[in-house]
């Protein structure tokens, strides 16, 4: 089994997690979505396009595991990431047989690698799915994304305790996004979303 050295930099790493960042003066859902599209869509598309252009499944597995989307993986041990890469390499012959993103995600979860949680599994599945041609058709909830979904709960739309939600569960402005973009947006703008919902409730009361 051939494993590459643990170094893959598809994007410039930044000191801050994107999920702790968001623009100012965003007082509507429309403004939040516009900000996401302006600030993040191109860079994320470029990152995923770089994964699609890799020369082999081995390279795609390696970069999907070690790239550490937006620094999310920076606290995961090298041992855990190595185990994930080895598990994927051992199963690489089957990876292109999966017909949907959820099946790929379940395979990664089935490895049960200590130290890689739901967010890590999602990030790796999203990256590897880009190479294989699989994208999520629902919004996966974990950590910051769940906080963003919970912020919408007072509107009676989102079951934020679920593992995934449908795009139709989100307010209409968010439906302009792809499911993977909505996941990202809920995480990055969770505090802004909470503020918008609070304002909406105040106005209606």
pLDDT in tens, the chain (205 residues): 555 555 565 654 444 556 655 656 789 999 999 999 999 999 999 999 999 999 999 999 999 999 864 466 778 899 999 999 999 999 999 998 999 999 999 999 999 999 999 999 999 999 999 999 999 999 999 988 999 999 999 998 789 999 999 999 999 999 999 999 999 999 999 999 999 999 988 876 6
Kindly report the length of the chain: 205
**Taking the chain, what is the end-to-end CA distance rounded to the nearest angstrom?**
63
| Domain contains 120 | yes
Same domain, 30 and 65: no
Q: Compute the chain's Rg from CA coordinates.
A: 17
Q: Are residues 157 and 197 in the same domain?
A: yes
**What is d(CA 193, CA 149) in angstroms, rounded to the nearest whole number?**
9
Residues 126 and 145 in one domain: no
**Residues 128 and 143 occupy one common structural domain:** no
Which residues have C-beta within 8 Å of that of residue 63, sequence separation ≥ 6?
A: 8, 10, 51, 54, 127
Is residue 121 located within the same domain as residue 142? no
Give the residue among 193, 199, 178, 151 at the shortest CA–CA distance from 160: 151
Instruction: Based on the fold, state whether residues 84 and 111 are members of the same structural domain.
Output: yes
SS3 17: coil
Going by C-alpha positions, the residue among 142, 61, 131, 66 that lies closest to residue 101 is 131
Does any domain span residue 157?
yes
Instruction: Provide the Cα torsion 92, 123, 86, 91; round to 10°.
Output: -20
Structural domain of 175: 24-41+138-204
User: Among 132, 158, 192, where does a domain finish?
Assistant: 132
Let me know: does 104 contact 129? Beta carbons within 8 Å: yes
């Amino acid at each position: 089994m051939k494993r590459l050295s643990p170094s893959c930099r598809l994007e410039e790493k930044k000191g801050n997690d994107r999920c702790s960042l968001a623009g100012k003066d965003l007082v509507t859902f429309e403004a939040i979505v516009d900000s996401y599209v302006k600030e993040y869509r191109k860079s994320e598309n470029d990152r995923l396009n770089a994964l699609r252009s890799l020369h082999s499944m081995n390279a795609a597995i390696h970069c999907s595991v070690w790239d550490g989307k937006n620094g999310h993986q920076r606290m995961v041990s090298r041992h855990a990431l190595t185990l994930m890469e080895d598990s994927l390499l051992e199963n690489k012959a089957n990876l292109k047989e999966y017909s949907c993103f959820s099946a790929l995600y379940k395979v990664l979860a089935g490895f049960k690698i200590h130290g890689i949680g739901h967010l890590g599994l999602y990030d790796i599945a999203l990256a590897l799915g880009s190479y294989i041609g699989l994208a999520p058709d629902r919004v996966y909830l974990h950590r910051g994304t769940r906080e963003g979904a919970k912020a919408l709960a007072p509107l009676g739309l989102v079951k934020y305790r679920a593992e995934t939600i449908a795009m139709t569960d989100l307010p209409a402005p968010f439906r302009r996004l792809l499911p993977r973009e909505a996941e990202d947006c809920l995480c990055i703008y969770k505090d802004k979303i909470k503020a918008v919902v609070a304002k909406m409730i105040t106005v209606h009361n």
